[in-house]
């Protein structure tokens, strides 16, 4: 090995040069037959690299199938070697499992989802096209479709995070729900609380991040803004369209929208004015 040099166009060390070196020194050679020729395939082009990568991908998937994991379309699934899967897990087509992702028995990961460093606990359902990183999805929780779990998201058991919901450093406690169209950042959502569509936690003032805390059984109406730091007590209700800037006591209703006004005949007068101008 010490006689190898990189005096070539690529500036690389070639193990195959050892044969010529040994022969020039009168050394006897022998042949070793590999059990699988793929172990010795060269990787000198991008096409060859892709081929070797696909070989590794296929072997990893086959290993997990032999361990009791179901793949709906094995040829379209990517599982890194650092990933851990348990028996009776189901993996859909086009799924990517990366890093230290750990998927427990009975969990289902549907089509197109990408998970990196995520723990998926028993019986959880990850619906199509969910993207998650450095997160926990609890037992029998449901996530997706089209959900984004950013680092620090922790969904406890039987929680639900639905389509077009983004979370970051958010903990949803047992049975909490955010079914659609919300941003939940730097927050702790109490057990059995319900987050209405269009709700956002306003956690950033341009310089610092602040925490939003909801107690148990809190109900947040649609299109609500929770301006952190703010705390809502157990059982509190927030009316749709409210901007919450102060703490809400347990069992209280918070509502900040203006009273509705109906102006009779306004449309006809506007049209008449437009036609005459």
**Distance in angstroms (rounded) separating the CA atoms of residues 148 and 131:** 5
Structure tokens at 6: 């990189």
Dihedral of CA atoms 180, 182, 184, 190 in degrees, nearest 10, equals -50
**Distance in angstroms (rounded) separating the CA atoms of residues 61 and 71:** 8
Query: What is 57-109 written as a DSSP string?
Result: HHHHHHHHHHTT-EESSGGG-EE-TT-EE-TT-EE-TT-EEETT-EE-TT-EE
Clarify whether 180 is annotated catalytic: yes
Which is catalytic among the residues 104, 148, 154, 180?
180
Residues marked active site are found at: 180
């Amino acid at each position: 090995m010490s006689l190898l040099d990189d005096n070539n166009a690529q500036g690389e060390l070639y193990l195959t040069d050892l044969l010529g070196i040994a022969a020039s020194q009168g050394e006897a050679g022998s042949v070793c037959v590999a059990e699988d020729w793929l172990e010795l395939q060269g990787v000198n082009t991008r096409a060859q690299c892709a081929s070797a990568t696909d070989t590794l991908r296929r072997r990893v998937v086959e290993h997990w199938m032999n361990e009791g994991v179901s793949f709906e379309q094995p040829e379209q699934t990517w599982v890194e070697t650092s990933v851990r899967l348990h028996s009776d897990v189901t993996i859909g087509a086009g799924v990517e499992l990366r890093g230290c992702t750990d998927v427990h028995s009975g969990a289902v990961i549907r089509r197109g989802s990408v998970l990196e460093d995520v723990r998926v606990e028993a019986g959880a359902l990850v619906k199509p096209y969910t993207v998650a990183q450095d997160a926990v999805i609890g037992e029998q929780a449901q996530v997706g479709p089209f959900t984004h779990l950013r680092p620090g998201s922790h969904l406890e058991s039987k929680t639900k995070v639905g389509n077009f919901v983004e979370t970051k450093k958010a903990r949803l406690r047992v049975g909490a729900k955010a079914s659609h169209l919300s941003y939940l950042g730097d927050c702790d959502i109490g057990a059995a609380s319900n987050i209405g569509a269009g709700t956002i936690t306003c956690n950033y003032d341009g310089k610092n991040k602040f925490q939003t805390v909801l107690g148990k059984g809190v109900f947040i109406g649609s299109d609500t803004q929770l301006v952190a730091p703010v705390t809502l007590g157990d059982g509190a209700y927030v009316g749709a369209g409210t901007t919450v800037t102060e703490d809400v006591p347990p069992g209280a209703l918070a509502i900040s929208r203006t009273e509705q006004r109906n102006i009779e005949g306004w449309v006809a007068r506007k049209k008449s004015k437009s036609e005459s101008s």
